[in-house]
Amino acid sequence: MVGSWRLLLSLALVLAQGLWSWPRRLGPGLYVETVPSGCRVILRSKLTLAVGPTGRFQAGVGGIELGRTPGPLQLEEKELPALLSFELPGFEPLERPFPRDAFRHPQRLRLTPKIPVLVPLAYRIGRDFPFASLLLAFWLGTGLLWLGRRRRERQTEERLRTSATLVQGDRIGPYRVQRELGRGGMGVVYQVLSPSGTPLALKLLQPVARPEEEVRALLGLQHPNVVHILDWGEAEGQFYLVMEWVEGQTLAEVVGEQLPDVAQLTDWMSQLCQALAYIHGKSIVHNDLKPSNLMLRDGRLILMDFGIAHSSERPRAQLGTPGYVAPEKIHGGAGDWRSDYYSAACCWFYLWEGRPAFEGRTPVQTLRLQGQGQLPAGQRPMPEQWFSLWSRWMNSDPDQRTAPSSAETAREFR
């Protein structure tokens, strides 16, 4: 469907063409009609004088430009008869004598094009109908842009259907992809630009049925320790979430450089507990808590990646990441907010030891180690005031793991 702005612009150009073509009152002078119009008219057979290289005057036949057709030409009747030359790029020059009665009997001349058909057509459209040519160029240009955009959209749709990937320049919804940031078992994260040019993060997820009220709950999350989820959508069966762009390092990257001390780790875990208490109070279970989903920005911890989060009222049996997933989910359960605290305890161990709590040669072996329900052995002595709470969060029985609510469990840590 043609946009209203294109229609209005087209009407404006048609109106301008009509005003341009409106008959004008002709003033006195010689008028010569040529096809096409706009020829440069030169008066020949006039004596010109010039100084030569030797310093002497030289006489020769030159020309005086009189104007352009149809005129009026800067020529008086008493200056006739005269030889006039008509020149126009793309056409053969034409010379024609004009008698004394030329003012009373206007002449019509047709120039011979150097390239038949094409040159006359270009002049006919571009010079005799300038606004119509602008209108034609406008429609052709916008049409070509639309075709190019539609071709890129089809390529994006094909990639989404076949490999569920995007490349730089692709559009998904109103967002333009800039680069890929990372891949995980549950999807791919891209940096994208909004229509206003703001950088954002977009996660393309595996197909999963999501109730609209659940997604709206994610969009309503507003907490300093929780990433702001701004938009969501679906393209070719692929669900995506759009989040604010957070500059910083993940806790996995920070710990890879240097292990934190007690005070630093206490601060990080306190902020994580605040984030968990908040989202659980909104009936949201994160479902994929791990160090690479915890970002530090100016000392503030931000809980990222709600790609497989679900409502506590509509739990889904999604496994999560081996090494951090709660035992009840390994055995086929859907899990609830208490599962997030088990994952938080695994993150706690990683941040303190600098290695995962459970390490198998394969993901299946890692899950088998977790399912045994034994505490992982650490090499760095854990403070006593931590150990009792951490070991309780690691309990394989959710009923023995936490306080009756997430808010009370967070207060226990503080």
Cβ atoms of residues 324 and 347 within 8 Å: yes
Q: Which residues carry out catalysis? A: 288
Residues 6+ apart with CB under 8 A from 237: 160, 161, 207
Query: Is the bond leading into 70 cis (omega within 30 degrees of zero)?
Result: yes
Handedness of CA 323, 326, 328, 334 (dihedral sign): negative
Question: In angstroms, rounded to a whole number, what is the distance separating the alpha carbons of residues 65 and 39?
Answer: 11
CA dihedral 259, 279, 249, 384 (to 10 degrees): -10
In the structure encoding, which two tokens stand for residue 349, read together? 């161990």
Order of all β-strands in the sheet with 40-51: 57-68, 40-51, 82-87, 94-98
Question: In angstroms, rounded to a whole number, what is the distance separating the alpha carbons of residues 266 and 54?
Answer: 99
Containing 71, the helix (H) or strand (E) segment is none
Partners of 295 in the β-ladder: 250, 302
The DSSP symbol for 315 reads -
Cβ atoms of residues 302 and 225 within 8 Å: yes
Partners of 402 in the β-ladder: none
In the structure encoding, which two tokens stand for residue 283, read together? 């009936």
